[in-house]
Amino acid sequence: MPADTSTSAARAAEVLKDVPTEPGAKKPDPIIVADNITRQFGGLTAVDVDHVEIQRGVITALIGPNGAGKTTFFNLLTGFDKPDTGDWSFNGKSLKDVAPHKVARMGMVRTFQLTKVLSKLTVLENMRLGATGQRGEGFLSAPLRMLWGAQEAENTERARELLARFKLDKKEADFAGSLSGGQRKLLEMARALMVSPELVMLDEPMAGVNPALKQSLLGHVKSLREDGMTVLFVEHDMDMVRDISDWVIVMAQGKVIAEGPPESIMADQRVIDAYLGAHHDTDISQLEGVLEAEGHGALHVDSEADQ
């Protein structure tokens, strides 16, 4: 667990102090700016985001009910899926029609909701794969170890440091496929760090992770901010969102419906409505009257059932 993450948290809060809490709010120093992103699957509009900015150097959470389009939005930003319209940029450079591997090389690395470890490679080999600019990955230089041996040794050293940090160093010779679900999440995160990214995008890092491991994962995510990285993550676990995020973006039905610091977002009426339905605290016996008053017309559930 990293020693002290409170300073970077305070710094993040300071930076975001004057940002208005409204969807599409302008940030002082955005690392990602996305405009007018839409993606349709047949008749369903999965993502329809007018404008969103992700602040550099802070931890931003992307939350929303199931089917809100969070993962699709992730895929669109990282090039794994192509939007029907829209443009988005990373560090000011447009990512429109940029292949996913190039997005990763630019410093924007993601993990997956369903963890993708390379089962039949050892944990250490998984890590080494993440290093960028490897001379030994060229077809012609690959057979000649003298061309890449030194670089491989450096990468291995860095990989071992990261594994130690994620408490996987004892497992380095094991096949990645033999790890538990939580350990795979850790490995995937550590492997993403091998790319030396500026922005780490985590898709549900806590899904299926036991509470003890969760605490250490939380610490790891916070330590990324400490190291100057930007983190964007999708999560359903509200405790985690409240604990580590500096800013929260809420999506529902493909749109960004609210933004703000975690304390204010939990109390935001739009967010509560999105999660629980707009009439979750209306007495069922009075629901008909309320809907009628709002102009939805009366409910005819009973009479329809009779027919």
Q: Which residues bind other proteins (CB under 8 A)?
A: 78, 80, 99-102, 104-105, 109-112, 116-121, 125, 128-130, 132, 134, 136-139, 142-145, 148, 152, 175, 177-178, 188, 191-192, 194-195
Minimal distance in Å, beta carbon 143 to other proteins? 4
* Identity of the residue, 125 or 243, whose beta carbon is nearer to other proteins in the bound complex: 125
Residue whose structure tokens are 């890092």? 205
* Identity of the residue, 11 or 158, whose beta carbon is nearer to other proteins in the bound complex: 158
Minimal distance in Å, beta carbon 80 to other proteins? 7
* Identity of the residue, 100 or 261, whose beta carbon is nearer to other proteins in the bound complex: 100
Phi, psi of 245 (to 5 degrees): -85, 145
* Identity of the residue, 19 or 121, whose beta carbon is nearer to other proteins in the bound complex: 121
Q: What is the dihedral of CA 259, 260, 262, 267, to 10 degrees?
A: -80
* Identity of the residue, 170 or 296, whose beta carbon is nearer to other proteins in the bound complex: 170
Structure tokens at 103: 């997005």
Minimal distance in Å, beta carbon 117 to other proteins? 7
Structure tokens at 212: 């003890």
| Three-state secondary-structure class, residue 237 | coil
- Are β-strands 230-234 and 199-203 bridged in parallel, bridged antiparallel, or unpaired? parallel
Residue burial 117-150, b: 16+ Cβ < 10 Å; e: rest: beeeebbbbbbbbbbeebebeeeeeeeeeeebee
Minimal distance in Å, beta carbon 260 to other proteins? 30
Minimal distance in Å, beta carbon 105 to other proteins? 4
